[in-house]
Structure 1
Amino acid sequence: MIYYEDLEIGAKQNFGRYEVTREEVIEFAKQYDPQAFHLDDDAAARTHFGRLSASGWHTCAMTMAMMVENMKNVKQAGLGSPGLDNLQWKKPVYPGDTLRVESEVISKRRSQSRREMGLFKSRAQIFNQNDEIVLEMTSNGLIAVRDPDAPIEG
């Protein structure tokens, strides 16, 4: 189990493999982002996307699925997340793409008010099969500390 004390700034992980299907792109869009270029080939062809593309929010959901799967393999004392910083959709995601994640711990600090937890930030970059970045974000994670009574570094 990985606790706050085990996190190292600069530590990197590469994980995930998510194959984007046409059916899933359309189904997600129908429910959550029903813009024509996510639902209809002809409408999509008339946009700068050029063809049917996944919703950016769908790309986030696929990323989260890969992150959770990774958490099953690399057990952390995770306590959830207070949110994201700097979410950017860099390139469209299309049916037939295969996505993967690269992440790097960029900072960490103990909570001043909740001694049992720390906060860490990770830069996540999501790549397609051509090693092009399609999404980039900084995620904020809450994680348990091994020893809540240990001094908090100043």
Structure 2
Amino acid sequence: MAWFEDFEVGQTAAFGRYVVDRDEVLDFARKYDPQPFHLSDEAAAETHFSRLAASGWHSTAMTMAMIVANMGNDGDVGGSLGAAGIDELRWLRPVHPGDILRCETEIVTVTPSRTRPDRGTVRTRVTVLNQDDVPVLTFIPTALFRRRPTAAEA
């Protein structure tokens, strides 16, 4: 369980393991990003992807699954209040079925709220790497966290 006070600028973490499943790539693409190179080996072979590639949005969603799993057990995300958005999202390399993804993070800012003393924002540089340690995507989310309750509040 993480609270705002648990974060420090420069803090790093490495976590996650997500095996990219072909059927999941196809299902996501059919529903949300039905471009030919996400739906067909033949169509992908005619592009710079060279083979079936997961949607960048799907790669980002797989990353979110790893982040939430890392936050806590049994769905307990502690002081998390969600996020205000993300900056600098970059899809650096294609993600293919069979790839194994993992995350590395670094806290870049920790800022108490000026208007809501019970919370603050934490900005984290997230890098997702494949099984060859090649970065495939990066982004910087602005996450909101509750401050740890004092003994009087608990």
The answer to whether the superposition gives a TM-score over 0.5 is yes
Query: Deviation string for 1:16-75 (max 9, x for gaps)?
Result: 000001111101000000000000111100000001000000001100000111012495
Q: What amino acid is the match of 1:4?
A: F
Query: Deviation string for 1:90-135 (max 9, x for gaps)?
Result: 0000001000000111111111111111001000000000000000
Unaligned stretches of 5+ in structure 1?
149-154
Matches within 5 A, 1:12-23: 12-23=12-23
- Matches of 1:147 and 1:71, distance apart in 2: 18
Q: What amino acid is the match of 1:93?
A: V
Corresponding residue number in structure 2 for 1:133:
135
Offset of residue 76 of structure 1: 3.6
Q: What amino acid is the match of 2:65?
A: A
Corresponding residue number in structure 1 for 2:124:
122
Identity across the alignment (%):
49
Offset of residue 146 of structure 1: 2.1
Corresponding residue number in structure 2 for 1:54:
54
Matches within 5 A, 1:1-154: 1-73=1-73, 76-146=78-148
Offset of residue 6 of structure 1: 2.0
Say whether the 8 Å CA contact 2:103–2:127 is kept in structure 1.
Answer: yes
Q: What amino acid is the match of 1:128?
A: N
Offset of residue 145 of structure 1: 1.0
- Matches of 1:53 and 1:81, distance apart in 2: 27
Offset of residue 8 of structure 1: 1.0
Equivalent residue pairs, number: 148
- Matches of 2:12 and 2:77, distance apart in 1: 15
TM-score normalised per structure 2: 0.92
Superposed CA RMSD: 1.4
